[in-house]
Amino acid sequence: MPSPLLPVSPAARERARGLLEFIDASPSPWHVVASAVAMLERAGYRPLDETASWRLAPGDRCYVIRDGSTLAAFRIGQASPVEAGVRLIGAHTDSPGLRVKPRAGEARGDWLRLGVEIYGGPILATFTDRDLGLAGRVALRAPTAPLGVDSRLVRFDGPLLRIPNLAIHLNRKVNEDGLKLDRQAALPPILGAVEEGLPAAEHLTRLLAAQLAVEPADILGFDLNVYDTQPGAFFGPQQEFIADSQLDNLGSSHAALAALLDTDADPPPATSLCLLFDHEEVGSTSAKGADGSFLDDVLERIALGGGLDRADYRRMLARSVLVSADMAHAFHPGHAGAYDDQHRVHLNGGPVIKTNASQRYTTDGLSAGVFQLACERAGVPWQAYVQRTDMACGSTIGPLAASRLGLRSVDVGNPMWAMHSARESAGAADHDAMCRALMEFFRA
């Protein structure tokens, strides 16, 4: 156990509260980007479009979005990127859960349910008996828009859906065997009673149309996430812990943005770049995932938009460093055997540096050193995590992003419990510690 654990200072509590508000405002990856844009616009960052030409000068503060749910935000430094490289922090906007199928309404007896696919690797049992909402984006007929389609965010604020458990009297061995859900038959959330005269498949379209004040016929499609409507909370005798959905990885996304915006008043010389990718939880291979072209495209356009040529761009990459920020598995006292004894990491013990020799994490001795120095300058402790040798290790965006461009990279993240639960938990002090360490990384 790191000693002492970090106290939750008033500043740290404020920072954690900011994270919970960010999460509660962001029930889908599209909402995450909208929340990030609100922060960036308030700080004077201007939007860039991938279809436009970019001219960039030192001091410029910009952001660019791909398909609504992946975002890059950057500040051009005074130092030439060829000499100073770029400091990158990468995180992800998506979280595991349930996504609504296109023809979602299905009648089961007298009950109407929404067909769902499983997105990523959620702990399915944690989605039962929760007050579930629906949020995402809807594609609308728009004759004057490019391709004739426009999109709008949608969110049903209150609880709308439910996956009730089967009573223990009808499932006597649930506590011995664990909750097993038949993915096709038992997972679709209940929306309500079947309505006479309204085909099941049209029910959701009607709801969406009413929510957006459009005609049902104008709804062409949607990307909808089932989310837990319970707001974030502090808990513990000293309110030293936080609980919310999506801590993985909105914790790191919010920290990356905070590090960028909180260094604006006294900007470091090197160019600073935050990358928030969608699709990490499903492997990152997509047009907007970390294994897609977005990272390369944005960096190249920063280089060319600043007047560099292709050779300079490659020199810039060779000097750049990536912090891949995702969450880490904190020691759980009820399952002590799940951890390597020498690499237990604890809530409120500070940021975690994650290492894996098989390169599921990108950290090496040198890049770990870069992050340790940032922690030292920030005055925050750091912890080291390695998975048990007899257990397969998870991964994140770091290896994909770093290998695409040959970047030096380190994988870090804050400790948390119950990763991929509908309700995750973490230390209230760690978020501020991570923000401060990332600020110092930008200053390196």
Beta carbon nearer to Zn ion, 30 or 277: 277
Binding part of the chain for Zn ion, among 256-264, 269-277, 321-329, 348-356 by CB under 5 A, reads: 321-329
- Contact call for residue 94 and Zn ion (CB under 5 A): no
What minimum distance in Å lies between the beta carbon of 252 and Zn ion?
8
The CA–CA distances, whole Å, from 215 to 16, 119, 120, 200, 315 equal 41, 29, 33, 18, 53
Q: Single out the residue of 94, 228, 240, 326 in contact with Zn ion (rule: CB under 5 A).
A: 326
Build a one-symbol-per-residue string for 246-285: x at contacts with Zn ion by CB under 5 A, - elsewhere.
--xx------------------------------------
Upstream peptide bond of 4 is cis (omega within 30 degrees of 0): yes
Binding part of the chain for Zn ion, among 168-176, 179-187, 241-249, 283-291 by CB under 5 A, reads: 241-249
Beta carbon nearer to Zn ion, 244 or 248: 248
Contact status, residue 398 vs residue 280, Cβ threshold 8 Å: no
Kindly state the number of chain residues that form the binding site for Zn ion, as judged by CB under 5 A.
3
Binding part of the chain for Zn ion, among 33-41, 240-248, 363-371, 430-438 by CB under 5 A, reads: 240-248
Beta carbon nearer to Zn ion, 24 or 248: 248
Q: What is the DSSP letter of 337?
A: G
For 77, residues 6+ apart whose C-beta sits below 8 A from its C-beta are: 58, 84, 267, 268, 269, 270, 271, 272
Task: Identify how many contiguous H helices and E strands the chain contains and give both numbers.
Answer: 11, 20
Beta carbon nearer to Zn ion, 24 or 411: 411
What minimum distance in Å lies between the beta carbon of 127 and Zn ion?
18
φ, ψ for residue 387, nearest 5 deg: -65, 155
Beta carbon nearer to Zn ion, 249 or 320: 249
Binding part of the chain for Zn ion, among 116-124, 324-332, 334-342, 365-373 by CB under 5 A, reads: 324-332
For 145, residues 6+ apart whose C-beta sits below 8 A from its C-beta are: none
Contact status, residue 203 vs residue 389, Cβ threshold 8 Å: no
Residue sitting closest to Zn ion (CB): 249
Provide the greatest CA pair distance for the chain.
Answer: 71
Q: Is 105 helix (H, G, I), strand (E, B) or coil?
A: strand
What minimum distance in Å lies between the beta carbon of 422 and Zn ion?
15
Binding site for Zn ion (CB under 5 A): 248-249, 326
